Amino acid sequence: MNGSDALMLYADSATSFNHTIKLLILEIQPGTEPWSSERCRDSFASRLELVPRLRQRYLTVPFGLHHPVWVDDPAFDLDKHLDRVRCPAPGDMRALCHLVSDRYSGPLDHTRPLWHVTLVDGLAGDRLAAVLLIHHALADGAGFLEMLLRFWTTQPESLSYAASHPWTPDPLPSRVRLLRDAFLSGPAFLFKQTAFAVRSIRAIGRTCRQWQREGRALPPFPDGRHSLAPFANRISAQRSFAARSFALDRFSLAADRFGCTVNDVLLGCVAGALRSLAIDRDRAPPAAPMIATVPVVRASVGEGERDEHFSRILHTLLHVDIADPVERLAACKRSADVMKEFFAQTRDARPAALLDILHPSLVKRACRRNESRHGGWSPFANVIVSNVRGPREPLRLGDVRLADWFSTGQVSHGAGLNVTTWSYVDRFNVCILADAIMLPDPWVLMTHFESSIDELLLRQATPRQCA
């Protein structure tokens, strides 16, 4: 396990849970066999071969000589990872999201593979939902997309997968084996990652100094001085969750009209929604921009294994202080352009490589210190905004159609709000996950988000506004 993935494990606590939410809306073709619990289990069991990591747990290395390692779980029991419940009436999206909030508000079992699926009956329109909680150490957004496509596009004509051979787990390695492997691979790994971390930090430092000499503005750094940060605080154990599907064309149209990207439109709409939320709360508009954390994942190489993804945490400004929606979008675009240009000039740098070489005890201590400092040490600052391009073709397994799906990452101490969007076919699906104390009703923010895209679509671009 690399240091970034291990960090997600170390940061787990009684109030901070680093598993993510994947919400799949399923339709069963009329006139076919109902999708019973047994049928669901059999389908899952047959397709586990396609995603081997789902039958693996982690083991810690004695004395912290390496970060935890993934191993086959000889005691793997699929029934421990599946259950079925009924959605409370009236079975609409609000009721489903309330159920998801309750299911999310607690840790996963770290003695087993770090995922759990709940099948939800009773949805409006005779649909089903599958709520997957999967730990970020096991898969990030890009990694899960690869898992999803592998699961749904391999033999899609059948609900079950014809496994090539029965699964025979490797025995758990002994402490002696773990120590031996750490001693054999540790020195070369530490040397390589130390050199990588030093080069990365120097490259970022050189770019910062060059930009300062040229008088160019740098992307914001989450130190509390650059912007408002109302969600940069210690989180509780309770979560609030909302999910809604929009037409992708609405965001593409706004991007074309104002000469920007769909990502820029997302940032502008989040800024507009947060501005309206602040006015609701404080009876006055914000006086300064608000900082946002933007995860960036480079395309993976090789066969799509999780540790081949190259992730960076960047920051930009949401211009909640600007009233006009088009001018606000233009300002968010300018800030995002600064962030993207900085990333382009340092794209080979991976400062998180420093986590690969730090002893686990130091990282764990930093996580606990970050919690006691109310998130002041975390690179995840205030609100996390993420956008992932999902499948453009509808997915199907036999008589089961993936009608829609939603996905979001976690919140953490220092970043109590997460707004994540995934596109699916012609839909733009928005998830809001928040600490329930900071944002008790996420549907208020979702309504403001919709108003923000409506405001943009009612306006026409002018050269001054789009500059």
Query: How far is C-alpha 138 from the geometric centre of its chain's CA atoms?
Result: 12
- The CATH number given to whatever domain includes residue 74 is 3.30.559.10
Q: Is residue 206 part of a domain?
A: no
pTM: 0.93
Final residue in a domain of this structure, among 112, 131, 159: 159
Measured between alpha carbons, how far is 249 from 262 in angstroms, rounded to an integer? 10
- Do residues 258 and 268 touch, judged by C-beta distance below 8 A? no
Output the average pLDDT for the chain: 91
pLDDT of residue 462: 63
96-105, 265-274, 308-317, 380-389: segment of lowest average pLDDT: 308-317
Residue 285 pLDDT > 60? yes
Residue 297 pLDDT > 90? no
Q: Identify any residues that bridge with 228 across adjacent strands, giving them in sequence order.
A: 290
Write out pLDDT tens, residues 151-196.
899 999 998 898 778 889 999 999 999 999 999 888 888 888 899 8
Domain co-membership, 121 together with 230: no
Active site amino acids: 136
- Do residues 32 and 158 touch, judged by C-beta distance below 8 A? no
Residue 323 pLDDT > 60? yes
pLDDT of residue 302: 37
Q: Is residue 194 part of a domain?
A: no
Domain co-membership, 113 together with 245: no
Domain co-membership, 139 together with 255: no
Judging by DSSP bridges, how do beta strands 383-388 and 417-424 pair with one another?
Answer: parallel
Domain co-membership, 254 together with 369: yes
CA angle 29, 35, 38 (to 5 degrees): 155
CA torsion angle 422 424 426 430 (round to 10): -30
Percentage of the residues of the chain whose pLDDT score is greater than 90: 72
Domain co-membership, 153 together with 225: no
Final residue in a domain of this structure, among 159, 181, 203: 159
Domain of residue 80, residue span: 3-159
Q: Is residue 191 part of a domain?
A: no
Final residue in a domain of this structure, among 130, 159, 188: 159
Structure-model confidence comparison of residues 156 and 32, the more confident one:
156
Backbone angles phi, psi at 245, to 5 degrees: -105, 130
- DSSP string across 381-413: -SEEEEEE---SS--EETTEEEEEEEEE---BT
Measured between alpha carbons, how far is 372 from 383 in angstroms, rounded to an integer? 19
pLDDT of residue 467: 53
Domain co-membership, 229 together with 135: no
Residue 278 pLDDT > 60? yes
Sequence-distant (6+) residues with CB within 8 A of 352 are 3, 4, 311, 312, 313
Q: Is residue 99 part of a domain?
A: yes
Domain co-membership, 40 together with 130: yes
Percentage of the residues of the chain whose pLDDT score is greater than 70: 94
Q: Is residue 368 part of a domain?
A: yes
Structure-model confidence comparison of residues 142 and 405, the more confident one:
405
Domain co-membership, 337 together with 252: yes
Average pLDDT value for residue range 349-354: 87
Average pLDDT value for residue range 350-360: 89
Tokens of 287: 């006086």
pLDDT of residue 80: 96
Residue 225 pLDDT > 60? no
Average pLDDT value for residue range 334-344: 96
- Do residues 33 and 42 touch, judged by C-beta distance below 8 A? no
Measured between alpha carbons, how far is 283 from 286 in angstroms, rounded to an integer? 10
Average pLDDT value for residue range 313-321: 95
- Do residues 300 and 309 touch, judged by C-beta distance below 8 A? yes
Residue 304 pLDDT > 70? no
pLDDT band at 146 (very low <50, low <70, confident <90, very high): confident
Domain co-membership, 108 together with 21: yes
In the chain, the number of structural domains is 2
Write out pLDDT tens, residues 429-451.
999 999 999 999 999 999 999 99
Query: How far is C-alpha 148 from the geometric centre of its chain's CA atoms?
Result: 15
Q: Is residue 175 part of a domain?
A: no
Judging by DSSP bridges, how do beta strands 115-121 and 128-135 pair with one another?
Answer: antiparallel
Write out pLDDT tens, residues 356-385.
999 999 999 999 999 998 888 888 889 999
Measured between alpha carbons, how far is 376 from 441 in angstroms, rounded to an integer? 25
Residue 309 pLDDT > 70? no
Q: Cα–Cα distances in Å, from 340 out to 3, 324, 461?
A: 24, 24, 23
pLDDT band at 299 (very low <50, low <70, confident <90, very high): very low
Q: Is residue 374 part of a domain?
A: yes
Amino acid at 294: V
Domain co-membership, 231 together with 145: no
Q: Is residue 178 part of a domain?
A: no
Helix (H) or strand (E) segment spanning residue 70: strand 69-72
pLDDT band at 298 (very low <50, low <70, confident <90, very high): low
Average pLDDT value for residue range 22-46: 87
Domain co-membership, 150 together with 265: no
Domain co-membership, 8 together with 137: yes
pLDDT of residue 226: 56
- The CATH number given to whatever domain includes residue 268 is 3.30.559.30
